[in-house]
Structure 1
Amino acid sequence: MENNQLLRMDNVGLVLESLDDAISFFEEIGLQLEGRGMVEGEWAGRVTGLGDQQVEIAMMATPDGHSRIELSRFLEPAVTSDHRTAPVNSLGYLRVMFAVKNINDIVARLTTHGAKLVGEVVQYENAYRLCYIRGPEGILVGLAEPLGNE
């Protein structure tokens, strides 16, 4: 008898100041905008514990439709802390990793949008080429290009 009731991971959330910049950045990686709108009302505040809130969100999906990033911009209440530019050895959620084709091309395209490499593109054995890149507002994204048969 199966006791695992997990169905899937729906999304990862990022709180930002500009949804437009983040949407453009993630579209350049290859995600697609699924929708954009407002989340507000008493029910939303009960979920988050923030009470009265007004949040603009945009949902970005990977091309396979299995993974999503929810981009949020809080209008009410005001943002209370900021750890977007924390180094990778900080506690908490810090980055999301994407498997990509042609990492050099994607890095070049993202840098034209103001993104910056954190370190450098490196190769791990014969398995991956990897890097971390900081996008809009300093958000940290990992890119991994599988080598071989993937």
Structure 2
Amino acid sequence: MSENKLLRMDNVGIVVESLDNAIAFFTEIGLTLEGRATIAGEWAGRVTGLGNQQVEIAMMVTPDGHSRLELSRFITPATISDHRTAPVNALGYLRVMFTVADIDELVSRLIKHGAQLVGEIVQYENSYRLCYIRNSEGLLIGLAEQLGNNQKRNNAIK
């Protein structure tokens, strides 16, 4: 019997209204645009179940090169549902979380770009400072700043 082993997680996909705005937002967080393309045709619709589709995508990569966000803007068919303003206890995908060096500084910069803090920045024990923000399009993003010994321990493991 062969064993099917998971090799890695390639990316998380997020459908956006404005690809340019989403790229700018995630660049501000610290991701880099890896590539941008238009995917079209019946073959792509066979994967998604949407039939003949045209989608503009942008692949964003984290500084360590291990994680990616695939941002998609559907040209055809048009989007038919919008979950961006759902509360954090709604069923389905909740958010993407990023570990950052200085949460206060980043939140300040993101607010200047139209993001809004969902609640407040809170501290969890002596481990993390955490918050949720929504970008100008309403996408929910989590930010975490490692504190003290927790950060030193994780850096030593790398």
TM over 0.5: yes
Shorter-chain TM-score: what band? Answer: over 0.9
Within 5 Å, give how 1:1-150 maps onto structure 2.
3-148=3-148, 149=152, 150=154
Distance in 1 between residues matched to 2:128 and 2:24, nearest whole Å:
26
Structure number with the higher helix fraction is: 2
In the TM superposition, what whole-angstrom CA distance separates every residue of 1:29-60 from its partner, at most 9, and x where no partner exists?
00000011101112101000000000000000
RMSD of aligned alpha carbons = 1.3
In structure 1, the gaps of 5 or more residues are none
2:97, 2:144 within 8 Å by CA — same for their partners in 1? Answer: yes
Distance in 1 between residues matched to 2:6 and 2:28, nearest whole Å:
31
Kindly state the Cα deviation for residue 128 of structure 1 after the two structures are TM-superposed. Answer: 0.2
Question: CA 1:125/1:16 → structure 2, altered by over 3 Å: closer, same or farther?
Answer: same
Aligned positions, number: 150
Higher relative contact order (CA 8 A, sep 6+): 1
**Amino acid of the structure 1 residue aligned with 2:133:** I
**Amino acid of the structure 2 residue aligned with 1:141:** I
2:43, 2:52 within 8 Å by CA — same for their partners in 1? Answer: no
Under a length normalisation based on structure 1, what TM-score does the superposition of the two structures give? 0.97
**Amino acid of the structure 1 residue aligned with 2:52:** D
Identity of aligned residues (%): 73
Kindly state the Cα deviation for residue 136 of structure 1 after the two structures are TM-superposed. Answer: 2.8
Kindly state the Cα deviation for residue 96 of structure 1 after the two structures are TM-superposed. Answer: 0.2
2:115, 2:134 within 8 Å by CA — same for their partners in 1? Answer: yes
**Amino acid of the structure 1 residue aligned with 2:91:** L
1:55, 1:75 within 8 Å by CA — same for their partners in 2? Answer: yes
1:84, 1:94 within 8 Å by CA — same for their partners in 2? Answer: no
Under a length normalisation based on structure 2, what TM-score does the superposition of the two structures give? 0.92
Kindly state the Cα deviation for residue 94 of structure 1 after the two structures are TM-superposed. Answer: 2.1
